Amino acid sequence: MGFDEQEYTRSFDIRSWKKLLPFLWPYRGLIAVVLALNVVCAVIDIALPLFQRYAINAFIETGDVSGLPGFALFYGCIIGLQALAVILFTRRSMRIEMQLGRDMKRACFVHLQTLSLSYYNVTPVGYLLSRIMSDTNRIAGTLAWNAVDILWAVFYVLGVFVMMFLLDPGLAAAVILIVPAMALLTAWFQDKILRWNRRVRKMNSRITSAYNEGIMGARTSKTLVIEEQNSREFEAVTQDMRLSSVRAARLSAVYIPLVMFFSSLTTAIVLVRGGALALEHLMLIGTLSAFTSYAVGIFEPIQQIARNIADILSLQANIERVMGLLEQEPLVTDTPEVIEKYGTAFAPRRENWEPIRGDIEFRDVSFRYPDGGEDVLSHFDLKIPAGSTIAIVGETGAGKSTLVNLACRFFEPTSGQVLIDGKDYRERSQLWLHSSIGYVLQSPHLFSGTVMENIRYGRLDATDEEVIAAAKAVSADQVAMKLEKGYASDVGEGGDRLSTGEKQLISFARAVLADPRIFVLDEATSSIDTKTERLIQEATEFLLKGRTSFLIAHRLSTIRRADLILVVRDGAIVEQGTHDELIRQKGYYRDLYRRQFEQEKLQRM
């Protein structure tokens, strides 16, 4: 079951709700105004039947309408006041909803920037989007509207009970006897209806996901000829949603008539008993009319209380998910002393940053992944002089990225030290190191925007001339010139208007502009055409000059020129040396090299 498939919980935990206080506190004044306006609306709603009572008794019963204009003016002012209160309440509740949702989304997004790379390796994108968008929206909406509506409903119901007892205690007691039965009935049905509606929402999410996969994977589905299988799976999901929707509709179809029955029964009791009292001149007609209005109007607020309480109880699951994301601790953190000197990613103190030469040393490093049971590296030592090129080779899935992730401090050693320029990198900030690393992936990510904007991400204060010069240095200008608007051309979402090789060239230009002291090339020359491969090889040679470089690559020409080759097998470094040294050892590298050589030879044929 995926992250979004978990059920809501009904267990109320005040500790979860307390975590919302920092988000609500800035709007405490606004919330107080909304609550006050709701009380005003409730008081007016309670008072309106009394106006009705007065009008009947004073004007209709007596036939004297001399005071009607004054009454009408006063009544109109009260209605106007209620309308104004509703307008002000609605506007302020909307502000609370929008601003609370914005604050929670912003907090989630900022917190995500602080989490370690490992978190994104194991967390589905859909999980994060659901928390940031759906859960925060539901929390903000429920708190801004449902929680306030409960106050109005409770205040109104209590006020109506008081007024009925003041008008006629005996008749009020008869009505109140029905209310507990109605409340129990509402609670039972609301629980069942809410449960099935949750299932409907869950199935709707699955249908949306199926649509997304069907559209995004249309080409794969056609090439694999699995349209019929997709249709069967989609039919099963939609059938489940249909059955759940029908069950929820059936419950509503039973519940609504029952509510109408109890409402009619209450009205009948009031009319029979009150009518008898009126005929005996023990109750005025106006009082009977007001009492009837109270008796009929009390059931909708009771239903509203039940619905809102159910929604608020179920909201706890959304709160737990959002707060769980915000409380997620990054795997790699800076110490308070480091933060004090070097700052954070959002408030860097660049004036204290030492320049990086690029010397890297692994000193007695052991490492295991957080979810692993054994060491991937054990007491590993390696010195990499500044400007050296280190090639890391091995079969797919062998663990070639582990060493790079440690060197870049995406992970930290379980024991031992990684030194940058002779100093443990944990004594300096992550941003200090990451700002001097250039990383080009096999499938590089481009942001939505223009070619110019994507290259400028390497150094945000770069001029257009500097961006163009960086592009020309690695032949990325050829990519821009092929597009209709040159550097101003949009690359599409994720760069989908460009080929993989063209995106890699843009990434190289971005790295040139950043001028990193440490450069990582992660198998970025695979699966591209010959012309683009030549351009990328030239760009690689340009970027390697004077930089400490890690190459996770299969291309033999690059590997052979490396100062040191590390051979990875089953997550461990089994051999290391130059190309010639490893060939003479006649070990795993030589076998791997021969297989690669034969594969490349076949590709050229």
Question: With contact defined as beta carbons under 8 Å apart, do 539 and 459 qualify?
Answer: no
- Residue 551 has phi, psi (to 5 degrees) of -115, 110
Q: At what angle do helices 28-55 and 68-114 cross, to 10 degrees?
A: 160
Residue 602: per-residue pLDDT:
57
Residue 557: per-residue pLDDT = 60
Q: CA–CA distance from 156 to each of 72, 185, 401 (Å)?
A: 24, 20, 64
Distance CA 432, CA 436 (A): 7
Find the helix packing angle between 285-297 and 28-55, rounded to 10°.
Answer: 140
Sheet containing 572-577: order of strands: 437-440, 518-522, 548-552, 389-393, 564-569, 572-577
pLDDT of residue 561: 80
Position 282 scores a pLDDT of 82
CA neighbor of 599 nearest in space, from 527, 536, 549, 543: 527
d(C-alpha 6, C-alpha 434), whole Å: 37
Reported as a single tens digit per residue, the pLDDT across 552-584 is 865 666 678 889 999 888 777 889 999 889 989
**Which of 85, 100, 187 lies closest to 139, judged by CA?**
100
Q: Provide the pLDDT for residue 238.
A: 85
* pLDDT beneath 50: ranges in the chain: 1-6, 8-10, 524
What is the predicted pLDDT for the residue at 352?
Answer: 92
Mean pLDDT of the chain: 84
User: Nearest-CA neighbor of 201 among 246, 165, 168, 244?
Assistant: 244
Determine the residue type at 63: G
| Res 2: pLDDT | 40
Name the CA dihedral angle for 259, 260, 264, 265, rounded to a multiple of 10 degrees.
-30
Structural contact between residues 512 and 429, judged by C-beta atoms closer than 8 angstroms: no
- Within 8 A by CB and 6+ apart from 601, the residues are none
In this prediction the pTM is 0.76
